[in-house]
Structure 1
């Protein structure tokens, strides 16, 4: 909804930006996902073979911020929808608490339960969305007229799409690792690529169409003002009466699968930060994260879309640089050979890479990214003219700098 509702782009322009940026971004994520089953390592452990045992802690912290932020978005959306369905009898705060606690419970059930839940819940959610479109579809072909889009606006909105997609780089192997090691790499790539790209493009495009119609449909606009995105969804389903409310509740609870899966990765990331952190049970990290999310969610729920845009603007830069470093490490220095990821040294700081090359590349990339940013909270001198091109510039700098710095690191340390 942000493209049409917040950025003032036309539905056509928004849809094209969604299509292009998602199709491009998912390539990197799907490629990294192939390494999960081949190495047998989850994402942050795998990253140690580029960033080293100690420097990877910086990536872990950034990853935790990104995952927790996306989980927070899901919790807020669930709370808003439940509150809208109850006509405000259940406050958004209570809805956020309820969604967060149920998601925490689901995360305690383990990966197999999460996998089973998501295997079936997607179809139920799909039916609910189809019904919602059927109830409100007559309004979708009459969007509000807008001015022609500028290249600056398109690039800045594109950066938000990047911020939504590329953080998967930091968690994709947490789940792809469950594929069998001898599965064809191309098949894994296309499974991951299609599994992320297709539903994201379809749902974001639908959201853009809904956002374009919100100002002209009184009930949708009222729902948006009172309950943000959850209120719009409830308003779309209102013509279906009680059945529509039931479907809205199902959609709200479908987000629990996202929350539970994110909690799974969050706890793994905490344990991978430092060696001693693995001694703490994963459930403790999930509980702490849930408490923080509920508290923050209650605070920012009233300014949901501003908070969403701020968050996506923050997290859209580092995953691209991280993904490029990991990809170059695998293709150039390890010659695409998964056997070079020696599992026996996964926590041996002396035998793992030092990590200076990877971290230095990241720092240099961000030194160029900052003046190219164009976000709600900061606009750099270059980004002010061009729109947000931080993501593109960061990837180019990583490509240029990592190879010579890593070669220097190898020559000094004497090993990969």
Structure 2
């Protein structure tokens, strides 16, 4: 099936495509361009808060928090960047490709869950950006949160190129603000005497921090290809992998380390307020940069959430040809859905956020295992793109019950190993609350999906019988 061209012209500066396949003559850019997309977009308040969990919620000393943050990002980044390498080869959004593993209708479950993930991150970012902007301007936090969300909506409406450009600017501006924050906290204002204390280490807290940092990377997996699908097909797996990996891991690790430092210095303070105290003298400038950065980064969540929502709609109404106006309307609707809980959950944000991350990890791990094994081990990147747009799934069918079964098994197998403030499984309790659920999920589902799906590929590869 060829993708039809739009019936009405769209202004050149606005991205005209949504989930349709990107033709070769519209591909542009180089692999190294991906570095700034992920480096700049990760330098924001939510990343700092995530790092602060190590020394506040999980109670680790600074040295352990730093080590766990680095390990989690380095390991989780591998999984994330492997998905990024799929974009140039296939030229379609990541969630559309999920139809090849789960079937056209079977994929809906995963796509719906991913939309909720985008909304969760959007709300989390909006809360922090609103708090920071309110702190330096004096405006009500709810209004500040709303205004930051509006900026994200506008960027989503314009689309891919504007988001890439904003991330490139953030790489310089937010990166500079991050460096200044470190310098001001450590060498200008100085840190409290007990910041470098060594007590409080626990294996459970250490593993929880690794899990949170790894999830930060893995959470990008469902949409990382959305930002590589415009790359030329000959970009290559290595170029797309390393540029995305380096940008995301470095861009995430540095602000997380800043957060861990703030948490170690002022563990009983709100992280945003604590950072304001430690950066006294340059707080206003730093908070403004990070607040604006939240708006730009949130546009990535809203953009990919819109693409995933459109994927659901196109699955139900296959004749629908969504374009720029569809993305704009979808973005406004998602914004309206996300902004209300963002405003009303601000007071219990940190506890809610930690639990959100743990539950998110549980439902993402089986999907990422299935997708990577299918792409790299079973199909070697060879997919029938037209079938992805067929209502009956084309060669992939409507339901792949093997993939669906593996997905649910992957969730169930992790539950005993979960350790959160809401629920702790019996296996996690047996190992003193250490959460290794995501490692168990990957270790079980990767080989299970391969073993169950491999016979189907062997059958399709067998030559047809000779006629009598």
What corresponds to 1:351 in structure 2? 395
Query: Does structure 2 conserve the Cα–Cα contact (< 8 Å) formed by 1:237 and 1:248?
Result: no
Distance 2:175 2:447 in 1: 43
Map 1:11-410 → 2, pairs under 5 A:
11-86=62-137, 89-137=138-186, 138-139=190-191, 142-143=194-195, 145=197, 147-215=199-267, 221=269, 224=270, 229-240=271-282, 244-274=283-313, 275-276=315-316, 281-334=326-379, 336=380, 338=381, 340-348=382-390, 349-353=393-397, 354-386=399-431, 387-407=434-454
Distance 1:150 1:246 in 2: 37
Shift of 1:272: 0.9
Query: Does structure 1 conserve the Cα–Cα contact (< 8 Å) formed by 2:80 and 2:224?
Result: yes
Query: For 1:190-235, what per-residue CA distance to the aligned partner results, in whole angstroms no more than 9, with x for missing partners?
Result: 001101111111111121011100148xxxx3xx2xxxx3323333
Query: Does structure 2 conserve the Cα–Cα contact (< 8 Å) formed by 1:34 and 1:176?
Result: yes
Distance 2:309 2:455 in 1: 31
SS in 1 for 2:133: helix
Query: For 1:77-119, what per-residue CA distance to the aligned partner results, in whole angstroms no more than 9, with x for missing partners?
Result: 1001012113xx3222122111111211222122111111111
Find 1:8's aligned residue among 59, 62, 66: 59
Shift of 1:398: 0.5
Query: Does structure 2 conserve the Cα–Cα contact (< 8 Å) formed by 1:237 and 1:245?
Result: no
Query: Does structure 1 conserve the Cα–Cα contact (< 8 Å) formed by 2:416 and 2:424?
Result: yes
Structure 1, unmatched stretches of 5+, are none
Distance 1:68 1:151 in 2: 32
Counting matched residue pairs gives 397
SS in 2 for 1:238: coil
Shift of 1:408: 5.4
Query: Does structure 2 conserve the Cα–Cα contact (< 8 Å) formed by 1:47 and 1:326?
Result: yes
SS in 2 for 1:97: helix
Structure 1 residues 94 and 231: alpha-carbon distance in aligned structure 2, compared to 1, 3 A threshold: farther
Distance 1:384 1:265 in 2: 37
Query: Does structure 1 conserve the Cα–Cα contact (< 8 Å) formed by 2:88 and 2:236?
Result: no
TM-score w.r.t. length of structure 2: 0.80
Query: Does structure 2 conserve the Cα–Cα contact (< 8 Å) formed by 1:32 and 1:169?
Result: yes
Larger fraction in helix: 1
What corresponds to 2:29 in structure 1? none
Query: For 1:123-154, what per-residue CA distance to the aligned partner results, in whole angstroms no more than 9, with x for missing partners?
Result: 11122222222322211774163534222222
Structure 2, unmatched stretches of 5+, are 1-51, 463-468
Shift of 1:12: 0.9
TM-score w.r.t. length of structure 1: 0.90
Shift of 1:350: 4.0
